[in-house]
Structure formats: C-alpha cells, structure tokens
C-alpha cells in the first residue's frame, strides 16, 4: 500500500476556495475524505478523469472540498446522476459519496438498480446511522431501539444491512470498513475503484454531535474506539464460533465476483447492431 504525503492530500483539496468546511469537529466525514484522497493519489490517476458525485446530507457536502470534477446533486439521486455521467463517458472514473439516508432510504431504488446493472461506479456510503444534516431523525440503518429525534422512545423499526442489500441486488464488489480503520479502508477503496463493475463500501462512521450525544456514545474518540473494539474482519470471524462474533460489525471484502459490466455490454451491443446494419 502506497504512502501518500500530507502535501499530496493538501494538493487535492480546494483549500484556497472552500475552507473552513461545514462539518462538526470529530465527525467521520473528514476522515473519510482524507482516506478517499489517499486512495486516489495512491493510484496515480489523472484527476481530470475522475468525477465525484454526491446527494444531499452532511456526508454529501464532500465533493465541494476536493479538486476533481464534482457534482453535489439531489437528495437520494447521486447514483442516478452518476449513471448519466458513466453511461455517457464510460472512460470516466465515477465515485459516489452518499449517506445512509441518501443511499438507502430516498435513494434505495437507484442503489439496487445500479447494482443490478453492474454499472462501474464506486459507491462510498458514510453510514452514521442517522440523518445528520436535518438534525438527527432515524434512518434505515439506525439500530433497533436507538434514539433519534423521530424515535424519542427508541427505534422500533428494523434496520437494513447495506452490504446484504447490495449483495442481494447484484453488486459485484461489496465491502465494509470503518472510519477508524483508515489504512484498511484506503486499500478497500483502491480495490473497489480497480474493480470493473458496481462496487460499494459501507463505511461505519460516527456522527458524535447528534447520534453520539443522543445515544450516550461518548465523544468522537470513544466512538472511534467502539469501531475498533466492536468490529472484526470477516476472515477472522470465519474461524470463530458464532457466539463470539454475535453483535460484531463484520469488516472486509464480503463479495467480489467477475461479471460483465454494463457499459462494456452496451458497447458490445452497439458493435453488434452496427454489424447487423451492414449485413
């Protein structure tokens, strides 16, 4: 794994234009931004050929800070906008940054269909189990019984497992990591971007200011430590009896298969149709 200097990270930020950022101190969004930059820098890609697309939410504010082609779109629609970019310019690397609400509530339909198509997008879900931007309502990944402003008596709703959802919908690269495991996450982002097909990473993240406070999770440091202590790599979990794994967040690449990618298949179709015309 390549080392990326602080100077390189700085070079990727629109530091002269868009700072200070809007995020609270201790929020995972900044950590994930840094990790994405390191993953991009490590690959030595032409940044004119990378587009970052987001929806609406705290996490979705990310594109404005990074010096790529950037699109801050509509709540829930990041994957649909990204689909337009990717299917028009298949050579473009397209990264989607989205929140748990953005991606799996209002945007759930676009998520499953992009996964089904196996469109070559890399979706990074900053999963903080809450609607941060709107002040702390429960999301489709808020755990059972957790407090949110719209679940004052504890969440009685059943949460999604984003990775299971993506696997079920046909995603060909599915991984999970956390905002604590930045080295692991950096490598996973590189793998996901290199993967030909739909890739998604569920990044377990902390919103200390709203979710953390409401659920007495301690400050940012305590929440990071919880990510470290309550999670386990899938390869390690396989070797343990189920009761030792119970309740733990499973990290690692949970699915990686080769399957024809949407744009490649479309290009093949075009070639076939053209040949048919000449016959």
Partner 1 sequence: MARNSQKPELVLMQGNEAVAAGALAAGCDYFAGYPITPSTEIAEILAEELPKRGHTFIQMEDEIASIAAIIGASLAGAKSLTATSGPGFSLMQEGIGFAKITETPCVVVNVQRSGPSTGLPTSPAQGEIMQSRWGSHGDSPAIVLYPASVKESYALTIRAFNLAEKYRTCVILLMDEVIGHMREAISLPDISEIKIINRIKPTVPANWYKHYDENQKYLSPLASYGEGYRFHVTGLAHDQHGFPTNKPTEAGAMMERLEKKIVHNIRDLVQIESYMMEDANIAIFAAGIMARAAKAAVKIARAEGLKVGLLRPLTIWPFPDDAVRKMLKNVEYVVVPELNQGQFLHELRRLVKSTTDSKLIGFQRVNGTLITPTEILQKIKDVL
**Which range binds ligand SF4 by CB under 6 A, 81-89, 107-115, 152-160, 202-210?**
202-210
Whether residue 20 is preceded by a cis peptide bond, meaning omega within 30 degrees of 0, is: yes
Residue from 73, 78, 80, 102 in contact with ligand TPP (CB under 6 A): 102
Q: Note the Cα 7 to chain centre separation in Å.
A: 25
Q: Is 64 in the site for ligand SF4 (CB under 6 A)?
A: no
136 binding ligand TPP? (CB under 6 A): no
115 CB-near residues (< 8 Å, 6+ apart):
166, 169, 170, 171, 198, 200
CA 210, CA 196: separation in Å to the nearest integer? 37
Contacting range for ligand TPP; rule: CB under 6 A; set: 37-45, 132-140, 212-220, 226-234: 132-140
**CA-to-CA distance for 129 and 136, rounded, in angstroms?**
9
Task: From 138-146, 157-165, 206-214, 232-240, give the range in contact with ligand SF4 by CB under 6 A.
Answer: 206-214
In whole angstroms, how close is the CB of 92 to partner 1 at the nearest point?
A: 6
- Tell me: does residue 131 bind ligand TPP (CB under 6 A): yes
- For 210, residues 6+ apart whose C-beta sits below 8 A from its C-beta are 130, 132, 135, 136
Rule CB under 8 A: say whether 48 interacts with partner 1: yes
- What SS3 state is found at 154? coil
Does 210 interact with ligand SF4 (rule: CB under 6 A)? yes
Name the token pair of 82.
Answer: 């990204």
Q: Which of 93, 116, 29, 105 is nearest to 65 (CA)?
A: 29
Q: Does residue 59 touch ligand TPP according to CB under 6 A?
A: yes
Minimum gap (Å) between residue 45 Cβ and ligand TPP:
26
Enumerate the H helices of the chain as residue ranges.
Answer: 6-12, 28-42, 78-88, 100-104, 108-117, 162-169, 182-194, 213-214, 220-229, 234-237, 242-245, 262-278
DSSP letter (8 states) at residue 66: B
Q: Which of 36, 37, 58, 103 binds ligand SF4 (CB under 6 A)?
A: 58
Q: Return the residue of 33, 36, 82, 171 that touches partner 1, per CB under 8 A.
A: 82
For partner 1, the binding residues in 159-198 under the rule CB under 8 A are none
Pick one of 53, 207, 223, 253: the residue that binds ligand SF4 (CB under 6 A).
207
Report d(CA 112, CA 117) in Å as an integer: 9
Residue 210 binding target from ligand SF4, ligand TPP, partner 1, none, CB below 5 to 8 Å by type: ligand SF4
- Picked from ligand SF4, partner 1, ligand TPP, none, the partner binding residue 102 (CB below 5 to 8 A depending on kind) is ligand TPP
* Region of 21-29, 38-46, 113-121, 183-191 interacting with ligand SF4 (CB under 6 A): 21-29
């Amino acid at each position: 794994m390549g080392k990326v200097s602080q100077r390189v990270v700085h070079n990727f930020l629109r530091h002269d234009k868009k700072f200070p950022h809007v995020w609270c101190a201790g929020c995972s969004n900044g950590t994930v931004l840094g990790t994405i930059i390191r993953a991009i820098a490590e690959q030595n890609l032409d940044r004119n050929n990378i587009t970052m697309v987001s929806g609406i939410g705290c996490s979705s504010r990310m594109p404005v800070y990074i010096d790529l082609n950037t699109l801050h779109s509509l709540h829930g629609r990041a994957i649909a906008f990204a689909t337009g970019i990717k299917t028009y310019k298949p050579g473009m690397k397209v990264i989607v940054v989205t929140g748990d609400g953005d991606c799996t509530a209002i945007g759930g339909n676009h998520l499953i269909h992009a996964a089904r198509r196996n469109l070559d997008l890399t979706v990074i879900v900053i999963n903080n189990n809450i609607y941060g931007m709107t002040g702390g309502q429960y999301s489709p990944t808020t755990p059972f019984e957790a407090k949110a402003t719209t679940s004052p008596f504890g969440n009685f709703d059943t949460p999604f497992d984003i990775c299971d959802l993506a696997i079920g919908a046909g995603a060909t690269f599915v991984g999970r990591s956390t905002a604590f495991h930045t080295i692991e996450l950096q490598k996973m982002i590189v793998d996901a971007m290199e993967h030909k097909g739909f890739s998604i990473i569920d990044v377990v993240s902390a919103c200390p200011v709203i979710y953390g406070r409401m659920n007495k999770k301690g400050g940012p440091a305590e929440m990071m430590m919880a990510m470290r202590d309550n999670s386990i790599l899938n390869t390690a979990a396989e070797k343990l009896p189920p009761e030792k794994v119970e309740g733990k967040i499973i990290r690692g690449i949970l699915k990686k298969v080769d399957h024809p990618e949407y744009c490649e298949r479309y290009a093949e179709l075009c070639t076939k149709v053209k040949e048919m015309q000449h016959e």
